[in-house]
Amino acid sequence: MLKNLFNTDRLSNYWRNIDKNILFSFLTLFFLGIFFSFSSTSSLAGERLNKDFYHYFSRHLVFASLAISVMFIISYVKISFFKKTILPIFILSLLLLFLVPLIGVEIKGAKRWLDLIFFRLQPIEIIKPFFVLITANILSNNKIKNRKYSHFISFALLLIIISFLLNQPDVGQSILLIATWISLIFISGFKITYILIIFSLIIFFSFLILTIFPERFGYISQRITTFFDPTKGDSFQTDKALAAIKQGGLKGQGMGEGILKDSVPEAHTDYIIAVITEEFGSIISIMVITIFLYISYKIIKNCIKNSDENSKISLCGLSSLLIFQTFIHVGVNTSLLPTTGMTLPFLSYGGSSLIGSSILAGVILNYTKNRFYNEY
């Protein structure tokens, strides 16, 4: 079986039909993440946590290697086979998300992780790409004659996931999923007028929840207030991140010379773009952001040519997920958005984030291959 799976003809067909521009863009992000991880985590491990200087870098290297393997496997398998795994994996991931409030690990007031002995898994990172694929399946299902039903079903699915996330609480990921869902229904033909109404209702109910449950979500109100008026709250992390970006300038302070990673607890995850800018300069940060935009451009270009509705919705949804998450991360780092914990795909430290990014990358590579390969 393995001999047939990895025979020379199939491997050559895979290489001939894969979108090499997108592939090398993803690999570049992975390798940049490995490089920046060495710079952003060495002092954290050695000086602050009294561990080996290469402790976090070694872990990142292991997870990045695993993530790259996952990306290649998903991009390699037949699309017909992969589509059969979408629902089972999504249900399993949803079950893991359900277990988080029951047996999850609480860190700094948030319970978002499951302790799997070797590492801590954040189920939402796995759910995100599969949520896009499941929603695309619902919206493109010809068996559902009335499109209103498909939109309602996808919305109900979104609410289930959001309810789990708010219980953790994880507002950042909730906002990301809502934005991605809106882009999905827009791509499927949902009228812009209705989208604006839905968006207005989401804003209204969000403020209503903040008002009704101040003890549970009071920190969100505080962050929003601090965002508009820094004198009314603690803006320490965002102030440090913005100062680091300014210190970095165009050329940066030099590798290992930044101080943000030593002064902000989650600099290697939630503030990695600020760390990169401080040490390597805004030119490198702009280059990183450009790679994300280039990948999105290539995906959208493929969507325009793609005649299959499911693939079109899936690809545009995955592109939206990637760009929205990047935008939120960069926005928080540059004080353009209120503080929320959000990793930068492929570059931030964290096994769950890397695996989630690899799933997204693998699906994109599979769906953008020349279609005749998948009939092979």
Tell whether the model's pLDDT for residue 372 goes beyond 70: no
Could you please report the per-residue DSSP string of 191-231? -HHHHHHHHHHHHHHHHHHHHH-HHHHHHHHHHHHHHH-GG
Please give the residue that has the higher pLDDT: either 351 or 117: 351
pLDDT in tens, 43-81: 554 455 555 567 788 889 999 999 999 999 999 999 989
| Axis-axis angle for helices 309-333, 272-280 (nearest 10) | 60
Concatenate the DSSP letters of all residues of 102-135 into one string: HHPEEETTEEEEEE-SSSEE-HHHHHHHHHHHHH
Q: What is the pTM of this model?
A: 0.89
Region of poorest pLDDT, from 48-52, 237-241, 347-351: 48-52
Q: Give tens-digit pLDDT for 287-339.
A: 999 999 999 999 999 888 888 899 999 999 999 999 999 999 999 999 888 87
pLDDT score recorded for residue 125: 94
Q: Which percentage of the chain shows pLDDT scores above 90?
A: 45
Collapse the DSSP code of 70 into the 3-class scheme (helix H, G, I; strand E, B; otherwise coil) and give the result.
helix
> Across-strand partners of 105?
113
221-234 pLDDT, tens digit each: 666 666 666 666 66
The Cα angle at residue 164 between residues 137 and 132, in degrees rounded to 5: 20
Chain position carrying tokens 């493109």: 140
Beta bridge partners, 106, equal 111
